[in-house]
Amino acid sequence: MHIGQMIASARTPFCSLEFFPPSDAAQMPDFYATVERLRALDPLFVSVTYGAGGAGGRKTLSVTAELARRGFAVMAHLTCAGADAASLDAFLGELRSSGVCNVLALRGDPPAGQPWDWNQGAFCHASDLVAFVRERQPDMGIGVAAYPAPHPESSSFAQDRRHTAEKMRAGADFAVTQLFFDAREYEDLVAHLRGQGVTTPVIPGILPVQSFESLRRILSLCGANIPGKLYLSLEKAHADGGAEAVREVGLAFAVGQIRRLLDCGAPGIHLYTLNRADLCLRLAQEAGLA
């Protein structure tokens, strides 16, 4: 079943999970062991990431196919970077032959350290990719990304909200948000979309803060905002108890965030697992998702 249909049929809040294929083949047994541990959460679906600049597509295909074989409803990430019509047709065909009928259509990131001009590619925006997949594979489920805080390249909230609405109108069945730390941003995003007549489900994506180093990396990559009160709490925890105390504060904040999001009508929660079972199991249990 398409993920959009599964979301529409869900009667209670659900969780979904994101995994990334390990770069080292020797790590695959541990990766699949983590996946099996997280089966306990009964995820509505799982997603598999795609490398920057279109790299790693073969791993995405192989991991997605294996998760489908293991009985998960699985969605492969699909990016514009480095893509052309022939390669996308081939990728979609291989997914279908593996029993996978859902993709997350993203603009993606260009290869690191290389000059890049999005206007030179066959696909410039995620909405182009959505339209292509919808035309080539009309019965495929399509998700897109949404940004509670604007994408780093957007000039304003309003512009970013318009772009999100365009992706949905191009044929997306649902959206998954980039990580964020202020539930009010999610509420504003959904309200703005509904004001434009867009009723597509929006699933909030959650990743707990685990260290100051990871927090800095997150903020630099995705442009998320962090509430001052949370930052001060993390800073105090770091000074008083180090990395473990930071993780506890980050987890507690994420639990509260999930509860508020579900209270305000979010259909479910998408957990960015970082391929770590213990963290996700504890978070889901304390937030009432398991």
Q: Render pLDDT for 194-240 as a digit per residue (tens, 0 to 9).
A: 999 999 999 999 998 888 888 877 777 676 788 999 999 999 999 99
Tell me the C-alpha distance between 143 and 154, whole Å: 20
Q: Where are the domains of the chain?
A: 3-208+267-287
* Alpha-carbon gap, residue 46 to 40, rounded angstroms: 13
The CATH T-level fold of domain 3-208+267-287 is: TIM Barrel (3.20.20)
For this structure, is 153 an active site residue?
Answer: no
- Confidence class of residue 115 from pLDDT cuts 50, 70 and 90? low
> What confidence category does residue 84 fall into, taking pLDDT thresholds of 50, 70 and 90?
confident
Q: Is the pLDDT of residue 116 over 60?
A: no
The pLDDT of residue 188 is 94
State CA 275 to chain mean position distance.
Answer: 13
- Which residues face 205 on adjacent strands? 270
- The tokens for 279 are 């963290």
| Mean pLDDT (whole number) for 125-148 | 94
Work out the mean pLDDT of the chain and round it to a whole number.
Answer: 90
Residue 151: name the closest of 141, 138, 139, 164 by CA. 164
Q: Which helix (H) or strand (E) holds 132?
A: helix 126-136
Q: Using CB atoms within 10 A of its CB, is residue 210 exposed (0-12), middle (13-18) or buried (19+)? A: middle
Per-residue pLDDT at 112 exceeds 70: no
Q: Do residues 77 and 47 make contact, with C-beta atoms less than 8 angstroms apart?
A: yes
Contact yes or no for 172/247 (Cβ under 8 A): no
**What pLDDT shows up at residue 53?**
42
